[in-house]
Amino acid sequence: MRLLKLLLPVCSVLVLLVLITRDVHAIQKPDGSGTTIKIGLLISENNSLAARHGAEMAILKANEKGGLNGKPFQLVVRSMEGPWGTGSKEAVNLIFEENVCAILGSHDGRNAHLVEQVTTKARIVFLSAWASDPTLSQAFVPWYFSCVPTDLQQADALIEEIYNKRKIGKIAAVSDNSYDSKLALESYIKRTKLAGKESPLQLFYDNPTLDFNSIIDQISKAGVRGIILFVKPSAASRFIQQFEQRKMNQPVFGTLSLLNEDESSDRDLKYYENIVSVSFGNMSGSKSLAFREEFQKTYSQLPGAVAAYSFDGMSLLIDAIRNAGPDREKIQKALAKIHFEGVTGAIQFDDKGKRMGTPGMMEIKNGIPVAVER
């Protein structure tokens, strides 16, 4: 019975893919004849407001400039909340029912794989604005793009900062057992071996509400000189609190996952003081400052990493549609050769749809992200 429950979502996804393969040529492609130009957004949950707000702001700015030849852009949002496989169903809904030109995704890696399969069969662009799973681009399909640095690229940034710049040798990596966290840790270990660096002490936990003191004990006994967190924000803030209570003074580093404002609060962020993480852009740049000011004015809060990548991702799609029109295949070609300056920095894609370049690092100072000099 348990096996049957596990197989049902998989079978549902397979059925969807078969239907798409059969009917892909019958899809009514956007031709600009509608009253709006629709772009889809897939979010993790209904309350994933950061991604929604970032995309909304990009749509609003585009429509203030006249949309596409006077026709407004329309954001169509679908939540992937529910049993595994919901994401692929919602992707199908956006493609077949809503007739969107392209899809932006702000969600985890496992769901991103499902959406990638659906959009590849339907021949429509899927731009990821949060999933950093490096295997997504390894399928080498022309319809997938990502404006977020992969786990491997983030690992390179962490290795440069920790081993080369700060000369820290003994590292402990603390991770939960989720798909995204474990994959990020595996990517980091792979890169440390390639760089000839010492592999980290690996420490795992299952329950984010647990007492981290046993893990901190292991860190202390092992003579660790630095810690990397591959965890969700709620667990990170709890770990850091206990870490400081124990008077531990080793520097703490993290990936972009620590900065997911949909999974954290201002209370959580105050514990991030002096934490060094992968950066989501030059926060002191003119574009970023203007974005932060406008976002705060509109939504009464400062934007975080999720909102910034969602804003850039939607802006990228809008730019490509303006250059290519609503035709899905032309959008893909325009996106493949785009050179875009966003709030998260310069964006250009390689031949696998990955964002090119290595991200920088940032440090939280007085609750504000500050760039770390390279």
Structure tokens that stand for 346 in this block: 């310069």
CATH 3.40.50.2300 maps onto the chain at 2-149+286-347, 151-280+360-372
In the chain, the percentage of residues whose pLDDT exceeds 90 is: 75
Asked if the model's pLDDT at residue 124 lies above 90, the reply is yes
d(CA 366, CA 322): 40
Using pLDDT thresholds of 50, 70 and 90, give the confidence band for residue 267: low
Superfamily name with CATH number, domain 151-280+360-372: Response regulator (3.40.50.2300)
**67-97 residue pLDDT tens:** 999 999 999 999 999 887 888 999 999 999 9
Within the chain, residue ranges assigned H as helices are 2-23, 49-64, 86-92, 109-122, 151-159, 179-194, 213-221, 233-245, 266-269, 286-299, 305-324, 328-336
Looking only at the bridges linking them, the beta strands covering 144-146 and 126-128 are parallel
Q: Give this prediction's pTM.
A: 0.91
The pLDDT value given to residue 229: 97
CB-based contact 149:161 (threshold 8 Å): no
d(CA 198, CA 322): 48
Q: Which 3 state secondary structure label does DSSP give 85?
A: coil
Using pLDDT thresholds of 50, 70 and 90, give the confidence band for residue 10: very low
Superfamily name with CATH number, domain 2-149+286-347: Response regulator (3.40.50.2300)
Query: Across residues 205-215, what is the average pLDDT?
Result: 82
d(CA 316, CA 334): 10
Query: Across residues 25-38, what is the average pLDDT?
Result: 69
Using pLDDT thresholds of 50, 70 and 90, give the confidence band for residue 250: very high
Q: How many CA atoms lie within 13 A of 151 on its CB side?
A: 26
**324-365 residue pLDDT tens:** 999 999 999 999 999 999 999 999 999 999 999 999 999 988
Using pLDDT thresholds of 50, 70 and 90, give the confidence band for residue 14: very low
The pLDDT value given to residue 290: 93
Using pLDDT thresholds of 50, 70 and 90, give the confidence band for residue 265: low
d(CA 264, CA 272): 11
Nearest to 101 by CA among 165, 19, 172, 40: 40
| Residue 81 DSSP code | -
The pLDDT value given to residue 263: 82
Query: Across residues 268-285, what is the average pLDDT?
Result: 82
d(CA 277, CA 300): 25
Looking only at the bridges linking them, the beta strands covering 361-365 and 276-278 are antiparallel
Give the highest mean pLDDT range of 25-39, 145-159, 247-261: 145-159
d(CA 265, CA 268): 5
Asked if the model's pLDDT at residue 171 lies above 80, the reply is yes
